[in-house]
Structure formats: C-alpha cells, structure tokens
Amino acid sequence: MTAYTLKQDHLDAISEHISIPKYQRRQLKTGIVHIGIGDFHRGHQAYYTDQLLHDTSITDWGICGVALLPSDIKIYKALKKQDGLYTLMVKEFDGALTKRVIGSITEVLFAPENPSKVIKKMASSAVKIITLTITERGYNYNEVTKAFDDQNPNIRHDIANPLMPKTVFGYLTQALKLRKEKGAKGVTIQSCDNIQRNGHMAKNMLLSYVRLAEPSLVSWIETHVSFPNSMVDRITPTTTASDIAILKATTNIKDTCPVVCEPFKQWVIEDDFVNGRPLWDAVAARFVEDIVPYEKMKLSLLNAGHTVLGILGALLSYKTIDEAVHDEDLRTFLEQYMDHEVSPTLSDLKGVDLEHYKASLLQRFGNVSIKDQIDRICSESASKIPIFVLPTITANLESEGQIKCAALLIAGFAIYSLGRNEQGKSLNIKDAMEATLRKKAAQAANGQPEAFLEIESVFGLLKSSPSFVSAYTKAYNTLRTSGVKACIKTYTNN
Ligand code: CS2
C-alpha cells in the first residue's frame, strides 16, 4: 500500500482508510486564534470544532494555531508540513482504535519567527475568540504573593520590547491595542487550562500586565473583552513512536504528530462571549451560567487523582496510570482520599452525581489501552499541586475535616523529589522547580521532614498549620521506614 504524508492534497487518497474532513477547509475563515497547539488542545477543542464544521455548514470558525515558545518549533514544523492536519487516535476501552483526521486547524504560526504576523492575526476583525492552553505555569501567577509575577525576566523583556514579545501577555496586549486603534470589535479570551476559574485568572493576570505595560488600554479591555471560565476534560497521553507506527501500519498515512486520547470528553463553558461564538453546544459542549463547581470537581478529583496515582505510583515503580490504579492498595487509598477528603469539600455541587463521577474516573484511569505515562502526570507537579490538591487541604483544615491522605501524598512527593524510587531506580523529575524540590527533599531526608513544606510557592502556608505538619511528618516517617505499600495499607485500614 502506498503511504501518503498527511496533507490537504492527499486527503482523497487516504479517505479509503480513515475518515477525513468533508468540509471545504480552504474556504474556512479564521474565527479563532489558539495559543498552545499541544495534545490537550488538539484532542479536545480542535476536535469539537472539527465535529461542528462537519455537522453544519458553518464556515467562520477555522482555527489558527500559534506555537508561542521557542521549544514549540517541532510541533509547529510538523503541523505546517501537514497543512494543519493530524490524526486523532481514540483508544477505546475494549482496545479498539478509532481514527479520524482533524481539519479544524487551518493555519499555523510560529510566534518567535514572526511576532508581528501573530499580533496582526489576533487583531484581525474575523477573529472573534482567542483561546489559550498555556499550562498552569503560563499564567505567571505567584502563589506566594497571590499576584502577577512582574519580576519574571520574560515579562521585563516584553515591557521593554513591546513589538517583539515572548510571553502570551505581551502578544495579547499588542493585539488588543491594535484592535482598539482600528476600532475593531471586542474579542473573547477563553482559557482552556486546568486552573480553577481559569477565565478570571487569565483576566487578572492580563490586566496586571497591561497596567504595567500599556495602562491606557485597561478600560478598553474591561469593556470590550470577556473571559469566560471553562472546564476542559479529555485524557491525552503523550504520543509514542509506537502510536505513529500503528497508524502507518493500519492506514496508509504518514503523520508525525497524531494525538492519542481516551473516548471520554467533556467541555463546560460559561456563556460569556462578547463577539459571537461557535455552536459548540451542537456537538455536546455545555454552556452554563456558573462553571465554578464543575471546575472544582474536575480539578480536585480527576487531576488530583492523577497526582495521587502518579507520585505514589512512581515510588512503586509503575510506569502508567492504569498499572497504578490496578494496584488494589493504591486504588483503595485513592478512593479514601476522594470520599473522605475531597467529596466533603464539594457540597455546593448541584445536579451532578458525584458517586457516579468518581466511579467513572476510576474506570477512565484504568483504561489499559491509553497507557497514560506516569512521567507525564508527574511533570511540573510543583505547579499542579497548588491547583489540584492545596484547595482541598485548606478547606479541610478550615472545617477540621480529614487531611491524612493528602498529607501522605505530600510526604510521598518529598520522597519522589529525591529522584529515586523505592527500588532505588532514578525518577525522571521534569519540573521548573526541580533544583528547589531536590534541595528541600534532601534536607527533609536529613532529619528535617518539615523543610520540604517551606517551598511556599507549592505549599502556601501549610508549614504554619500544626495539624498539617504533624500529619505530614507522621506520614513521611512511616513512608521512609515502612515503604509506600505498608504505609497506605495502615492508612486505609483505619
Ligand atoms: C493531567 C491532565 O497533567 C495532568 O496532571 O491530570 O493532563 C489530565 O489528563 C487532563 O486534565 C484531563 O482532562
């Protein structure tokens, strides 16, 4: 069978083996600029939009994908070569693979190569929405001061070089300034990141930047730009060489950047769009007035659940989330954490069957086909823990609720940060805070367990809570003396 590189001109040739976009891609107008064209965006928002373009005759919601960071060059080049096309490989529970070519990304730009092109694109009047998947760290929020980090060298760079920005804030500011000057309509900035009240976060951080860099723009933004909160959910493991090979072997497609994902997907969005929006609700996205309870549920159960399985699973030498959740002891421990520590903090959640949600998470984590990498989950834990786990601990400390499982998790993270698991194998710590984590973990192992809690940007003021410090120290010492298995067993037997 002749193999074809995935490209617009080859779509007909490959359509015998895979479902392809049937809509006229070349006629689509770019209505959305998306920053951050990684797997999460391409497995989720770009998929929903592709589905919508298929099901309707709408032509004004093509996506321009922007690769913002110099390190995004690889994905930019791959997508550029493929005319924005890529394959979505959905790994079903029964092992079946559903494949489809996604066509909603119709343009791709590499910001470091041509900043002014990106700014002009974001300012074009056809563009009505700018969406963001820039990761937890991308918001430049300082957990200690609870404010925008204006000392970040890239932020200082953008203030000094407004037309050659490096950060998302520099780009957005220039684009909004241009829109204002042209008298263009307002625009919606929609965060799709795993952050509680992600729209508020985007707005607050952007306005903080604008106050420093372009103060006269503040009031225009306040009246012309909306920032809906949204909850985005679909597990997208890192694509492996074997996924690419399977794709080639089962179709005649050479695709260097397919996305792998689970069948489940969910998108709940606050309906606050100043300049129109796609009918994503026609393809099962949900528009609601108040997103906060949904976000809280997802972040504190799914994402924190991943962190529990990831950190403790890594210490036990597991490589994938399904292996970790199929360990009976670990699963029971996770259930305890969810039932006794997270659920009580979600009492304002109405109209969602929490028990069903938790059960479905265990099933999703257990999907043996997707093999979600523990390395992926543990990466950047220092920015994930404050969002996924800390709010639960803080709420329980306030209400005198249970904190012992969370304390064990943090103690596990202190041991993980030593860089070796229980079998002495080295762990692949991928974290912007790696040096600090390792330093504090070493101090902890040297007879001062509480030293690890001094990393305020991760643990906030937990070090000043006597009940947390005591639960954490107890867990730390038990983990060190008895190991993860024995420790979680004692925690779940009581
Ligand atoms: C994961 C998320 O990165 C992580 O720690 O928990 O990427 C998770 O897979 C997605 O949020 C699922 O929607």
What the block records as the tokens of 326 is 């199929």
Pairing, β 225-226 against β 187-191: parallel
pLDDT at position 352, please?
A: 84
Do the beta carbons of residue 403 and residue 472 sit within 8 Å? no
Ligand 1 within 6 A of 410 CB?
A: no
pLDDT digits (tens, 9 = 90+) for 250-302: 998 999 999 999 999 999 999 999 999 999 999 999 999 889 889 999 999 99
Fold match flag (4-289 vs 292-493): no
Cα dihedral 106, 45, 280, 168, rounded to 10, equals -80
What the block records as the tokens of 369 is 């086909």
Ligand 1 within 6 A of 234 CB?
A: yes
The interface pTM score, or ipTM, of the predicted complex is: 0.99
pLDDT at position 444, please?
A: 98
Read off the pTM.
0.96
Give residue 167 CA to ligand 1 midpoint distance, Å: 23
Give residue 316 CA to ligand 1 midpoint distance, Å: 21
Strand order in the sheet with 86-91: 97-102, 86-91, 259-261
d(CA 135, CA 122): 20
The CA–CA distances, whole Å, from 277 to 63, 190, 280 equal 13, 11, 8
User: What is the position in ligand 1's atom list of the atom closest to the CA of 377?
Assistant: 5
Q: Which CATH architecture has domain 4-289?
A: 3-Layer(aba) Sandwich (3.40)
Ligand 1 within 6 A of 306 CB?
A: yes
pLDDT at position 349, please?
A: 82
What the block records as the tokens of 402 is 């249970």
Residue located nearest, by CA, to atom 2 of ligand 1: 303
pLDDT at position 493, please?
A: 72
Give residue 282 CA to ligand 1 midpoint distance, Å: 25
Ligand 1 within 6 A of 492 CB?
A: no
Residue among 236, 294, 297, 306 whose CB has most ligand 1 atoms within 8 A, to mutate? 306
Which residue's entry shows tokens 């596990």? 412
d(CA 309, CA 483): 15
Ligand 1 within 6 A of 257 CB?
A: no
Domain boundaries, the chain: 4-289, 292-493
pLDDT at position 348, please?
A: 79
pLDDT at position 82, please?
A: 98
Burial class (CB in 10 A: 0-12, 13-18, 19+), 483: middle
Residues of the chain with pLDDT under 70: 494
Q: Which CATH architecture has domain 292-493?
A: Orthogonal Bundle (1.10)
pLDDT digits (tens, 9 = 90+) for 36-88: 999 999 999 999 999 999 998 889 999 999 999 999 999 999 999 999 999 99
